[in-house]
Chain A
Amino acid sequence: MRGTGFLSLHGVDKRFPLKEGELHVLGDISLDIRQGEFVSIVGGSGCGKSTLLRLLVGLEEASGGSLRLDGVPIRGTDPARGIVFQDHRLYPWLTVEDNVLLALANSPLDKAERLARVHAHLELVGLKHFARAWPAQLSGGMSQRVAIARGLVNRPKVLLLDEPFGALDALTRAQLQDELARIWQTEGITTVLVTHDVDEAVLLGDRVVVMEPRPGRIRRIVPVDLPHPRHREHPRLAELRSDILQDFTRRQAIA
């Protein structure tokens, strides 16, 4: 078992310098995410939710506050934090297998162990027969499965997902959501999902963090008090969804 994977954000602030002045993207984000918890972060465009994820993966540095994983400050990227982007970002000149293998570049495993690890993860996402395929031969959903396999292949403590299903059609999205829920349950990995899809946020998350923009802040945190695996049609999910959606519609009415 992974044993750890406790995320702690305290007073996180992010500003981007502009030609004149600066852009205040995130302000005073404080949030603790339990080991093995699934947290959805939902918000409209421009609320800084993707920036928050980029801070967590280590592609950006916070302007203020602290981000810690198991008490250790997050600095730069690390195999302990896996990420899946919205666009699958597979290298088209590498086969599926080589794409996932590349994520193990700094792993202490030997070659045979790496390959076994890659194949195990391709099997986990249901693509073990596509190891030798080129990304151009895959559908959007399949490519995103490979990206998930790549995000998990290092056995990270935390899996970060940046609108991973946003570019997929509704049917494929539903399918992959179920699969993500299954993988999360079997792997028991701390997961942070950024999405603009409220349905997705409540279906998958133990808690839903609702954000509001300018600067990006946490508006409120909604616990989803339903056991996993969940049923899409559960009335409680619909309640929570309309509750959260009201946050956005009310805000828009004011704006």
Chain B
Amino acid sequence: MSTIQASHPFQAFPTRPWPGLARALRRVGAGGAALLLPALLLVVWQIAVERHWVSAQILPPPSRVLETFGELWASGDLWFQLSISLQRVLIGSLIGGALGLLLGLAMGLSRQVEAYLLPLFQALSQVPVLGWIPLLMMLVGIDEALKYLVIAKAVLVPLTLNTFSGIRSIPPSYLEVARVYRLGLLLRLRRVILPAALPSIFTGVRFALTKGWIALVTVELLASSEGIGYLMVDGRQMFQLDLVIVAMLVIGLVGLVLDQGLALVETRLQRWQRQAF
């Protein structure tokens, strides 16, 4: 610090107070920067436990959490619960995704369908996932069907709205070309409408999957005897907060992986956007 200031005696406002840190950050790159805050949290967490700011029963040390994670992984329990949750998300998302895409397409392609469905759809979509659960529980019980429905609903809304608005914001000039060449509906969908709406649809898909994953955890917390959300309930009931934290970490990580995976698929699908020169 002092040497830097000495070498720039006239600099009234040092723009880079910690040049060493900035340089180090640049070296580790963006990925490294993203890890900085979690690492800091980890340090604070460790200190909090060591200094007994919070009782170890409520906040177990990071090492204990890591140990629990290792045990759960080794026993296959973690993977078992996770696979059940992933399966629920997969099925629920496929149902909700297919319906959302169809609904969005129908409303996007036809002003008439839009007039009939959009207001109702918007009103219903204002009710959060949590608000649907009591009614759905009475209707379909608390078995798998409930999970599929809740996840499907969570996925349906963003996918429908994004597909709809994606189609509506296609430049009229693209549709005019389709009219000039008298493209039939199928060709128009495949060659013009879907590719043009794809960026918006994909934003919808990513958003929907995040929503679906959150809905899964919600419904598993409320009504389940299996799955990653249940693991959390179980841990809390047995006062095993390490278990709860492991479940939280896994939920966060899986969500991140799903989203990033989709981002990769998106780049692949839109390879035409890359320019050669």
Residues of A within 8 A of B (CB): 57, 59, 76-79, 83, 85, 87, 89, 91-94, 102-103, 105-106, 133-137
Contacting residues, chain B, for A94 (C-beta < 8 A):
191, 195, 272
Whether a CB of chain A sits under 8 angstroms from the CB of B187 is yes
The reply to whether B180 and A57 contact each other, CB–CB distance below 8 Å, is yes
Interface stretch among B1-9, B170-178, B227-235? B170-178
Whether a CB of chain A sits under 8 angstroms from the CB of B277 is yes
Task: Give the Cβ gap from A103 to chain B, nearest Cβ, in Å.
Answer: 5
| Complex CA distance for A10 and B139, rounded to whole angstroms | 68
Whether a CB of chain A sits under 8 angstroms from the CB of B183 is yes
The reply to whether B191 and A102 contact each other, CB–CB distance below 8 Å, is yes
| Complex CA distance for A139 and B176, rounded to whole angstroms | 23
| Complex CA distance for A215 and B27, rounded to whole angstroms | 66
The reply to whether A105 and B179 contact each other, CB–CB distance below 8 Å, is no
The reply to whether A59 and B176 contact each other, CB–CB distance below 8 Å, is yes
Residue of A nearest to B188 (CB): A105
The reply to whether B183 and A105 contact each other, CB–CB distance below 8 Å, is yes
Mask of B236-277 contacts with A, CB within 8 angstroms, 1/0: 000000000000000000000000000000000010111111
Number of interface residues of B (CB under 8 A): 23
Contacting residues, chain A, for B53 (C-beta < 8 A):
none
Contacting residues, chain A, for B276 (C-beta < 8 A):
133-134, 136-137
The reply to whether A93 and B195 contact each other, CB–CB distance below 8 Å, is yes
The reply to whether A106 and B181 contact each other, CB–CB distance below 8 Å, is yes
Whether a CB of chain A sits under 8 angstroms from the CB of B52 is no
Contacting residues, chain A, for B183 (C-beta < 8 A):
102, 105
Residues of B within 8 A of A (CB): 173-174, 176-177, 179-184, 187, 191-192, 195-196, 198, 270, 272-277
- Kindly identify which residue among A85, A103, A133, A136 contacts B181, using a CB–CB cutoff of 8 Å: A103
Q: Secondary structure of the A side of the interface?
A: loop
| Complex CA distance for A83 and B173, rounded to whole angstroms | 13
Q: List 21 A-B contacts (CB under 8 A).
A: A59-B179, A77-B180, A77-B181, A79-B181, A79-B182, A87-B173, A91-B174, A91-B196, A92-B273, A93-B196, A94-B272, A102-B181, A102-B187, A105-B181, A105-B184, A105-B187, A134-B274, A134-B276, A136-B272, A136-B276, A137-B275
The reply to whether A59 and B180 contact each other, CB–CB distance below 8 Å, is yes
| Complex CA distance for A103 and B275, rounded to whole angstroms | 24
- Kindly identify which residue among A89, A91, A105 contacts B182, using a CB–CB cutoff of 8 Å: A105
| Complex CA distance for A85 and B277, rounded to whole angstroms | 24
Residue of A nearest to B276 (CB): A137
